[in-house]
Amino acid sequence: MAWTREQMAARASKELRDGFYVNLGIGIPTLVSNFIPEGMSVQLQSENGMLGMGPFPYDDEVDPDLINAGKQTVTELPTTSYFSSADSFGMIRGGHIDLSILGAMQVAQNGDLANWMIPGKMVKGMGGAMDLVAGVKRVVVLMEHEAKGESKLLKACNLPLTGARVVDLVITDLGVFTVDKKGGTGLTLIELADGVTLAEIAAKTDAEYRVALAA
């Protein structure tokens, strides 16, 4: 039994703190917005030029001029502000965003992240991912532990990097790992998903890691 996508998002929501400005990536990270604890003030940033992103609109509120970075229609809040892409990435690059939660194809034990390109195959582009991982104060990866039976948590990435030594925490469907991106202690397994054993993680993980489960 591993975590579902919702359980992964719920676990990621524990990284939120009152007063945080947060950027959520496309896919499972977007689900984290459903798990913001009651009473906690968290402002969501959308890199296409919006701070204070509201929920999806009701049918009669849909506005083509109001979308998030995944091109989905969203709504504004009393706290909302709009700005240009240059100001948006000034916010990101300048270290004003507290937390970025994003997906990945591969993460290496040194904190390297790959999530934008498969040479010869996928031609989509990095969008804002390189800016986010380089500029945001804390980077949390939310991803499936394996893809097609292959570990996504590796000794070294073999896909082109999105950022070198940028990841702080990895949450997969099997558990949670901290990353010491300055070197030092490397990758450390700190939590197991419900019903997951150390043996299962060992069998499904290519990267080297220490185990320091919270009591």
Partner 1 sequence: MRKVYASAAQALEGLVKDGMVIMSGGFGLCGIPEALVDALRDTGAKGLTAISNNAGVDGIGLGRLLETRQIKKMISSYVGENKLFAQLYLGGELELEFNPQGTMAERIRAGGAGIPGFYTKVGAGTLVAEGKPTREFNGETYIMETGLVADIALVHAWKGDTEGNLVYRKTARNFNPMMATAGKVTIVEVEHLVEPGEIDPDHIHTPGIFVQRIVHVPNGPKRIEQRTTRTRI
Among 34, 41, 79, 85, binds partner 1 (CB under 8 A): 85
Contact present, 102 and 62 (Cβ < 8 Å):
no
* Closer of 135 and 175 to partner 1 (Cβ): 135
Residue span binding partner 1 (CB under 8 A) among the ranges 64-72, 181-189, 193-201, 206-214: 64-72
Residue 163 touches partner 1, criterion: CB under 8 A:
yes
Residue 214 touches partner 1, criterion: CB under 8 A:
no
CA 21/CA 174 separation, integer angstroms:
27
CA 204/CA 209 separation, integer angstroms:
12
Residue 35 touches partner 1, criterion: CB under 8 A:
no
Tokens 């506005």 belong to which residue?
A: 63
DSSP 83: -
CB of 32 vs partner 1, minimal distance in Å? 16
Torsion of CA 63, 100, 104, 53, to 10 degrees: -10
For residue 45, count other CB atoms closer than 10 A to its CB. Answer: 27
Residue 55 touches partner 1, criterion: CB under 8 A:
yes
Among 162, 172, 178, 205, binds partner 1 (CB under 8 A): 162
Active site residues: 47
* Closer of 47 and 173 to partner 1 (Cβ): 47
Nearest to 139 by CA among 83, 191, 87, 178: 178
* Closer of 19 and 160 to partner 1 (Cβ): 160
CB of 190 vs partner 1, minimal distance in Å? 26
CB of 182 vs partner 1, minimal distance in Å? 12
Residue span binding partner 1 (CB under 8 A) among the ranges 8-16, 55-63, 100-108, 202-210: 55-63
Residue 86 touches partner 1, criterion: CB under 8 A:
yes
CA 68/CA 60 separation, integer angstroms:
18
Tokens linked to 178: 């901290």
For residue 9, count other CB atoms closer than 10 A to its CB. Answer: 22
Cα atoms found within 13 Å of the Cα of residue 179, Cβ hemisphere only: 25
Residue 135 touches partner 1, criterion: CB under 8 A:
yes
Residue 37 touches partner 1, criterion: CB under 8 A:
no
CA 79/CA 82 separation, integer angstroms:
10
Residues that bind partner 1 in the complex, under the rule CB under 8 A:
46-50, 55-59, 62-74, 76, 82-86, 88-90, 92-93, 117, 120, 123-131, 134-135, 160-165
